[in-house]
Amino acid sequence: MSAPVPMADAGHSLPGLVDRAAMMLAGAKTAAEVLEAREAAGIAYDAAKRTARLSRAKAAHDDLLAAAHRAQADALVIEAAAKRRLADEYDAAQERGEVRKDGQRGKAVADPNTFSQSPATASDLGLRRDQIHEARQIRDAEAADPGIVRRTLDERLDHGEEPTRAALRKMVVDAAMCGLRSPRRPNRRNPLYVPPTPARAAWQHVTGTFRAFAEWATDENLARARQGLRAARNEPFHDLDSEAIARAAARFTQIKEWLHAE
């Protein structure tokens, strides 16, 4: 049995593991690369979880335990983002006929008459059906309520609780059950109702995000956020937060330029 990694060394490496997973996902161009990013995020999560467990066992300083929990949360956010992309890639492959659609049976075999390959199965791709189902649930929950993954994990951090896959999975299941209890239906008062196109839905997502932030961003809330920024400068994952804000700001500027160009 190999010796356990010293707690200080494991903790020191956590930001690097999280950064690596984030960069892999950001640069992923194929489904295989998305899977690799998901695995890297899983490795970061497992390392952070082990560090947190060792911190508790050794009664380490609260700051070290908090840093390990923050790394767990960041790794889960990246892992969830990878799963959302995986769900999109898988569904797109099904639409293209490259992957067997849900409910189809049999193995992928070559057709000797056409020299073509029948659609691959989930197992052919190294995926289980429950993994695909979970990826779709996370994607749908995030689409219905943008930021729900990050908020769920941050709430646990704020309460001093460990951010775990189990907690995130419960959130996804609860969101799915809410969707089943309150399904969105076309307006019955308007028989001419037509669901929005994907392009229109994407734009509604953008405008909804902007409106929600604009309503929240009062002078009082912004002043409070700035105080939080000052307090967070010395936290181990402040650089990741800064990079995420910078990327979002660049996208906001791009969208603002669209408004002037159209």
Residue 247, number of CB atoms within 10 A of its CB? 11
Rounded Cα distance between 142 and 148, Å, is 6
Rounded Cα distance between 25 and 19, Å, is 10
Tell me the CA end-to-end span of the chain in Å, nearest whole number. Answer: 64
Q: Given a cut of 50, is residue 115 above it in pLDDT?
A: no
Average pLDDT, the chain: 77
The pLDDT score that the predictor gives to residue 195 is 64
Structure tokens at 161: 């609780």
Q: Given a cut of 90, is residue 79 above it in pLDDT?
A: yes
Segment 78-101 shows an average pLDDT of 88
The pLDDT score that the predictor gives to residue 194 is 59
Rounded Cα distance between 71 and 51, Å, is 10
Query: Which of residues 191 and 1 earns the better pLDDT score?
Result: 191
The pLDDT score that the predictor gives to residue 116 is 42
Q: Given a cut of 70, is residue 245 above it in pLDDT?
A: yes
Q: Given a cut of 90, is residue 92 above it in pLDDT?
A: no
Query: Which of residues 76 and 201 earns the better pLDDT score?
Result: 76
Least confident of 69-73, 155-159, 184-188: 184-188
The helix/strand/coil state of 131 is: helix
Segment 205-226 shows an average pLDDT of 81
The pLDDT score that the predictor gives to residue 75 is 92
Largest Cα span, the chain: 70
Query: Which of residues 77 and 248 earns the better pLDDT score?
Result: 77
